[in-house]
Structure 1
Amino acid sequence: MSHDHGSDRTDASTDEQTADHRRDDTAGDRTGDASGGYADGVARRVDAVSRRNFLRTAAGAGAATALGLGITGSAAADGIPTPWLHRDGNLIRDPSDNEVILRGVNVPDAKRMNAKEFRPDADETIARATNAEEGWYSRIVRLPIQPTDVGGHDTGGIPPVPGFSQSQLESYVQNHLRPAVDTCAEHNVYCIVDYHRHRGQDEAHAYDSEGIDEELTMFWETVAPEFAEDSNVLFEVYNEPIHPFQGHYEPNVDVDPTDDEAIETWNTWKAAAQPWVDTIREHAPRNLILIGSPRWSQWTYQAPRNEFDGDNLAYTGHVYGHQNLRPLSEYFGEPAEEVPVFMTEFGWGENGANYITGTADDEGQEFLDFFADYDVHWQVWCFDSKWRPAMLDHDWSVKPYGEFWREELAAHRDQDVPDGEVDTGTDDDTPTDTATPTATPTATPTATPTATPTDTPTPSGPTSTPTPTDAPNTPTDTPATDALVINDYDGDPAWSANRNDLGQWCGAGSFANGSGEVEDGALVLAYDNGGWYQEQINRDVSDYDTLVLSVAGASGGEESEVRFSMGGASGMLADVTDDSIGTTLSTVAVDMASAGVDRTSSSLSLRLNFWQGGSSRLRIDGVRLE
């Protein structure tokens, strides 16, 4: 499903199975000299520690400030610990055996960014994607390395095989890839070094061709040893191998990835790719290796049926608006119950071919439900203004699509992260803060960008639904004496501190009144087809049966306009409660077992979203478990 982001044309097919769809609107970097994009041609690989000190000083001062990115010198202290990770069944764990789920974004090719044609360079882009002060909580950044850019080819064309020489590859690694990986380390996030070939459907470009084998062998024999000692680096073997796959040469035949006939495709792919996996492992014994599949990495379903040989292996999946890959639970969820799955590309666009178009209400909600139900790692496409679907506009303001995923990253900011200390790059002996799944966040998530684009989903606010005047300031019910209070909004702790009564993170955004306002001991959320609210619990609550919200609405009946998510359960609030929201404070109770809530989850949270098309005003006096 990938795209050399050059032109807007597809390679050879426009049906929903093709995926060459993300395009850069500019010509990009077409130089192929040994300078690697630098005028003097001098090698620019800088020691990681020196770069860490330099960038921490310069992060808030140079071109980033000129672009209005708002990046400060404290940005390098954001992020999470990045120890070595290992596979345990279908899970990824840290050295303390905590489960880790890595959520983040894709960025463009580093050399393409460093050409600075209508976009910031790689350092600036990675800094923004991980900047907590702007509300970005990417815990992993995927770095695509395109043969087009490594070899200096026309960005609108199909790179030849081989796509680059050994000297061009070494120059690229030295001048672009190593600095980008170091920048990820400086900002305390993981990164995926992704061999990003995805174009060409002739025999020369087949993944089992001799030329492709020579190209990938050269690539990984050079790249794997370079990053073998970087604990924050994961390797993605081959972004999107296309063919051969069963049915490829017969236009009227569509072999589903779940069919028995698909086994032949997977076996062909494994025979071709196993040597590349072995090459990586020979040079890099500890890094996680991510393995794609034929037909643009859409055949993830077959991975558990014949796994690759080796340790610390995981598998990737790519899907956009493809209706032939729905339900997501079948094609990607079922394998995720047996092997680790990374959705290293997914998303939707407002326009384009059928396989990429979608909406937040449909495709967006499908992805949210899928990620809530399965332990899948995800890296959304794309943190850029030109590679589509783009999360940013040309002035680098955040599009509604980008805001959708920024909010989701913020909602999971402290969940499923490794245990340990965050490297702030300081040289003194002062102890650093420990980042754990329940750690105090470095900065409060920002629900809207500093410079709000005119097409953001943030509404101006309802004008016909005033706060009910008959709502009492106190709830009419009396909580049980053994109730577990999640948040009573009494100011201790303050809502603005993003901490609830359990000491866990809480927050909201994209409402007509911003992140909500506390009035007379209740949280008021004004919504107009937008907004999200979350209370993290982060503990086993098996001793409790019922979630209780003390709530009132401006009009009543708001339970039909609010979507409920908790412990893997997801649906409209009206579907998980027998109660209705009235115009005076009353309780709305959810039987957690009946709703399908996993009460044993150590990362349990309550999330409400308001993107279903309604406009009203909610007053939440308290949330508790009984």
Structure 2
Amino acid sequence: MSHPPGLRRRAGALLAALAVTAALATAAPGAAAADGSAPALSVQGNRVVDEAGADVALRGVSVLAPEQNDVCDYCDARPTSEMIDLAAEWGSRIVRLPVTEISATTDLAAYDAQYIAPYVEQAVDLGVYLIIDLHLVRDYGDGTGAVPRSTVQRFWEYIAPRYGGTTNVVFEVFNEPINPASWTTWKSYIQPVVDAIRETAPDTLLLMGSPQWSTMLNGAVSDPIVDDNVAYVYHLYPNQGAPTTALLDGKFGDAAEQLPVVVTEFGWNPPGEFSDSITAGTTTNWGVPFRAYMDERPWIGWQAWILDNFWKPQMFDYDWNVLGGEHQGQFVKDWLGGLPSVSPCASHDAVGAAVTVSSTYSSAYGGDNLVDGDCTDAGRWLSAVGDATPTATVVLDQAQHVSSITVYSGYGGGSGVVLVDFTVDVRTATGWQQAADVTGNAQSVREVTVGVDGVDAVRLVATDPSASTTEPEIARVYELAVHG
């Protein structure tokens, strides 16, 4: 693999960082790295602010833990330095650097020299913030298999004096403690660690997780960590539900009216090889509403998970192509770049085309809604009750190559109301041919491969329009999106 000029520059930074680390290893307690190139961060009310008191939007991405970089033997791994450069190019104000292989016996000097110091130096060089994220996903305390406080404290007592004076650096104290599921128990465990950090890093912004995979920050509203420069962490994925205002308010939004909050993990990809049961979601139904909520609350920072082609939900395929459409990669890139939020269903080759349908539930939910680029609940076609095989035909403006067709179905608050069994047909000069026969579907967004030239019409036939036993047995389809 060829190495770009930026990587050669990073190699020089690595040598400089190793020299800094070696010097610090013999320095007196409390010694710190250089001041840095970004304004120092602090907490003011429910905001994170710079030295002038201006709000700082901590928006960025997480990169793969450097020590995991060679684990995947089919991913064509790229150097961490290259990914941090890319994060900055995308517009990340902050990059989250996971630290995963830490135990009670880790050689912290060696670990720091290889996996932390080079990237602190790089962040200073780029003028971005870097989160040193102690990326433990474990029970905490004295139970069997849990992380004892001494292990966490040992790590921070080494790291804090080395980077506490570097204004580009933020400390995320413990990524995802799991059990006990009690804020009070967690606070009693982690407060001494915070106190120890403050002995040598009195001014560094701390990011504080919570039990149950960092989903219990509401406990801090009435019983915060005793410290005046802590922001509270929330981790959010599609398995927690549709990102409605009501759901997100309850998770962290209401707390963010009183406390500084940073969502240091979120992400999605459609069901398939780039997601799992926790992260399976779509840009249309998850990413777009989540962004809308966050854009209305710009004081809440966020770091998308993950700028990689290995850990799920990744932003690239295995060949380093940015995953677009209903995947998160292109959407996050556009968000960081300040581009408008656009649902993938809003732009396709059949928008505005002529549509005929077998029936309609009411005039508000007619067939034209299938090609209006609107994937909200109001922009759906609903078939009539009693229509056993709801059918919709879309006639394209001209014959064209069709690579795929995406069927968006269901509705926002419903359960089991996506199309279950359906066929997709395409018409060419030789007549109709079946492109897909889908059975047992449970996905609200289902893309089918077509790969046919000269298509002038497409047809959707639902043979089982809904699995619900409580809702009417009708087809509910947001969009029939045709892609050339």
Q: TM-score, normalised by structure 1?
A: 0.48
| Distance in 2 (alpha carbons) for counterparts of 1:199 and 1:214 | 14
- Per-residue CA deviation, residues 238-286 of structure 1 (Å, 9 max, x unaligned), is 00011111xxxxxxxxxxxxxxxxxxx1111100000111111211122
| Distance in 1 (alpha carbons) for counterparts of 2:372 and 2:318 | 37
Conservation of the 8 A alpha-carbon contact between 1:317 and 1:344? yes
SS of the aligned residue for 1:143 comes to strand
- Per-residue CA deviation, residues 286-337 of structure 1 (Å, 9 max, x unaligned), is 2100100001101012111100011211100011113369611211101111
Conservation of the 8 A alpha-carbon contact between 2:371 and 2:481? no
| Residue 354 (structure 1) shift | 3.5
| Residue 198 (structure 1) shift | 0.4
| Distance in 2 (alpha carbons) for counterparts of 1:563 and 1:97 | 40
| Distance in 1 (alpha carbons) for counterparts of 2:191 and 2:300 | 23
Find 1:126's aligned residue among 52, 68, 84.
Answer: 84
| Residue 369 (structure 1) shift | 2.5
**Alpha-carbon spacing, 1:88–1:146, altered in 2? closer, same or farther (3 Å):** same
> Where does residue 366 of structure 1 map in the other structure?
289
> Where does residue 304 of structure 1 map in the other structure?
221
Give the partner amino acid of 1:340: P
Asked whether 1:83 is paired with 2:39, we answer yes
SS of the aligned residue for 1:141 comes to strand
> Where does residue 376 of structure 1 map in the other structure?
300
SS of the aligned residue for 2:170 comes to strand
Runs of 4 or more, structure 1, over 4 Å off, are 48-51, 114-117, 456-461, 463-466, 556-560, 612-616
- Per-residue CA deviation, residues 27-67 of structure 1 (Å, 9 max, x unaligned), is xxxxxxxxxxxxxxxxx96336999xxxxxxxxxxxxxxxx
> Where does residue 94 of structure 1 map in the other structure?
50
| Residue 562 (structure 1) shift | 5.6
Give the partner amino acid of 2:56: V
| Residue 229 (structure 1) shift | 1.8
**Alpha-carbon spacing, 1:50–1:557, altered in 2? closer, same or farther (3 Å):** farther
Conservation of the 8 A alpha-carbon contact between 2:375 and 2:479? no
| Distance in 2 (alpha carbons) for counterparts of 1:81 and 1:562 | 44
Conservation of the 8 A alpha-carbon contact between 2:267 and 2:313? yes
| Residue 561 (structure 1) shift | 3.8
Within 5 Å, give how 1:189-338 maps onto structure 2. Answer: 189-199=128-138, 203-206=143-146, 212-245=148-181, 265-323=182-240, 327-338=247-258
- Per-residue CA deviation, residues 437-465 of structure 1 (Å, 9 max, x unaligned), is xxxxxxxxxx9xxxxxxxx9699962786
| Residue 614 (structure 1) shift | 7.5
| Distance in 2 (alpha carbons) for counterparts of 1:121 and 1:111 | 11
More strand by share: 2
| Distance in 2 (alpha carbons) for counterparts of 1:241 and 1:170 | 25
Give the partner amino acid of 1:365: V
> Where does residue 455 of structure 2 map in the other structure?
none
Give the partner amino acid of 2:309: S
Conservation of the 8 A alpha-carbon contact between 2:96 and 2:303? yes
Asked whether 1:409 is paired with 2:349, we answer no
Conservation of the 8 A alpha-carbon contact between 2:131 and 2:171? yes
SS of the aligned residue for 2:303 comes to strand
| Bigger mean CA deviation after superposition, 312-321 or 358-367 | 358-367
SS of the aligned residue for 1:144 comes to strand
> Where does residue 550 of structure 1 map in the other structure?
none
| Residue 557 (structure 1) shift | 9.3
SS of the aligned residue for 2:155 comes to helix
| Distance in 2 (alpha carbons) for counterparts of 1:614 and 1:560 | 9
| Distance in 1 (alpha carbons) for counterparts of 2:307 and 2:156 | 26
Q: TM-score, normalised by structure 2?
A: 0.61
| Distance in 1 (alpha carbons) for counterparts of 2:38 and 2:51 | 10
| Residue 392 (structure 1) shift | 0.9
| Distance in 2 (alpha carbons) for counterparts of 1:353 and 1:464 | 31
**Structure 2: runs of 5 or more not aligned:** 1-12, 21-35, 354-367, 380-477
| Residue 203 (structure 1) shift | 2.1
| Distance in 2 (alpha carbons) for counterparts of 1:325 and 1:237 | 29
Within 5 Å, give how 1:518-537 maps onto structure 2. Answer: none
> Where does residue 278 of structure 2 map in the other structure?
355
Conservation of the 8 A alpha-carbon contact between 2:347 and 2:373? no
SS of the aligned residue for 1:215 comes to helix
SS of the aligned residue for 1:47 comes to helix
> Where does residue 140 of structure 1 map in the other structure?
94
**Structure 1: runs of 5 or more not aligned:** 1-43, 52-79, 151-160, 246-264, 414-446, 448-455, 467-555, 565-570, 574-611, 617-626
SS of the aligned residue for 2:116 comes to helix
Superposed CA RMSD in Å reads 3.7
**Alpha-carbon spacing, 1:137–1:562, altered in 2? closer, same or farther (3 Å):** farther
Aligned residues: 332
| Distance in 1 (alpha carbons) for counterparts of 2:350 and 2:301 | 40
Give the partner amino acid of 2:264: T
> Where does residue 401 of structure 2 map in the other structure?
none
